[in-house]
Amino acid sequence: MINDDDIWILGINMTKFGKRPDLDTVDLAAEATMAALADGGVTMADMDVLAAGNLMGRGGIGQQLQKQVGQTGIPVFNVSNACATGATALRTAIMAIKAGEADMGLAVGVEKLAGAGLLGGGGEAKSDGHHWEPNGRYGAVATTDGRIGTDTMPGVFAQVGMEYGHKYGGADFDLFARISEKNHAHSTLNPLAAYSKRFTLDEIKDDIMIAYPNTRPMCSANCDGAAAAVVISGEKLKSLSIEQQRRAVKIKASVLTSDPWQEACQVLPDVNTLTKNAAATAYEAAGVGPEDLDLVELHDCFATAELVHYDNLGLCGEGNAVDFFESGAPWRDGALPVNVSGGLQSKGHPISATGIANIWEVCHHLRDEAGDRQIQGATMGLAHVIGLGSACGVHILEKSAA
């Protein structure tokens, strides 16, 4: 049943992630945009609002995109919100529809990151010097523990995983490597992933150590890519064809959170609390619980991150993330598949595209269009993304009953 006040994803698509030297940022965004419009059976002339996300560019990506795919005078929102940029763009379009200012909107996320190397906390590649020098706002509080340091993503998430293991037990180097092994195995069924290669456990453990316990295959891959989604009001959707209604995916919850105030260390970001808050709010808004989910795409920027987010998203009881993984539940053929796409470790992580790409994966299964990696009978899924700074987006999606 389609209610007038529901919001739906009408069309969604993503480019192949990886090295795309032949296309610039606008080209990539345009490729994803045109594919999403075609997927929904609509055009730029049907859009009432555009929200576009890009973190590493010069700004104004939305207007640049318009000049390539259709300049219609609609309002444009340019979004930058760390790794949650794509999810934030989507939520911006959703809010415009909820406010009654639009019937249909477009959200896009795009990034060129191939060859960027190790990114620092501010999203910039590290300097070529041999010694790390603290500077700027965070230089005064960040530790000076070498080239990696805690102000970089590998350092932060390495500590997050080790902290969880220290608190609850069972999380060791081998366990994190096996999480990565799962995701790389899943990637072999995803033709749009940046890397579709299965790694043995020894290959993962013996690779270059980035920040213990994460070796290189256990880290998300910097790459180029874009993803786009068309969202529509329930009232407008009812005026479209039965086929468009059948393929539409209902957004049961769209939540964005940031860090709440707490008496805590201001050096090491808290990636847990804002995710727990986002998940709890999303479940309440959707009127469902983790037990109702058929698949989850979560932000596994590192193998350590995936483990803690099992707990943060309520996929297991508090402190039981290790047992959840050991049960086999997050494998594609398990009780609650997680990162069937291959996750950020294999699919890749073009920062601003990730939030929408995770949603695309879930939509693909809810439409029964995921091919060899299809989760049979999937009717509900969750997509999660988190960006340090911090921002967390959680979307709960449901298969159309049309």
Give the global pTM.
0.92
Place of tokens 């092994």: 181
In this structure, are strands 76-79 and 49-53 parallel, antiparallel, or unpaired?
Answer: parallel
CATH of residue 56: 3.40.47.10
| Contact present, 311 and 163 (Cβ < 8 Å) | no
Residue 42 lies in a domain: yes
pLDDT at 181 over 80: yes
pLDDT tens, 20-78? 999 999 999 999 999 999 999 999 999 999 999 999 887 899 999 999 999 999 999 99
Q: For residue 369, tell me if it sits in a domain.
A: yes
Split at pLDDT 50, 70, 90, the class of 135 is low
Give the strand pairing for 214-215 and 76-79: unpaired
Residue 334 sits in which domain range?
7-115+222-399
Segment 324-349, tens digit of pLDDT: 999 999 999 999 999 999 999 999 99
- Is 207 part of a structural domain of the chain? no
pLDDT mean across residues, the chain:
92
Q: How many domains does the chain have?
A: 1
Q: Indicate whether 27 belongs to any domain.
A: yes
pLDDT of residue 153: 82
* Domain-embedded: residue 244: yes
Q: Is residue 394 part of a domain?
A: yes
Residue 220 has pLDDT above 80, yes or no: yes
Domain-embedded: residue 251? yes
d(CA 51, CA 228): 10
Written as six digits, the tokens of 344 are: 């950020």
**Of the candidates 305, 331, 307, 310, which has an alpha carbon nearest to the alpha carbon of residue 185?**
331
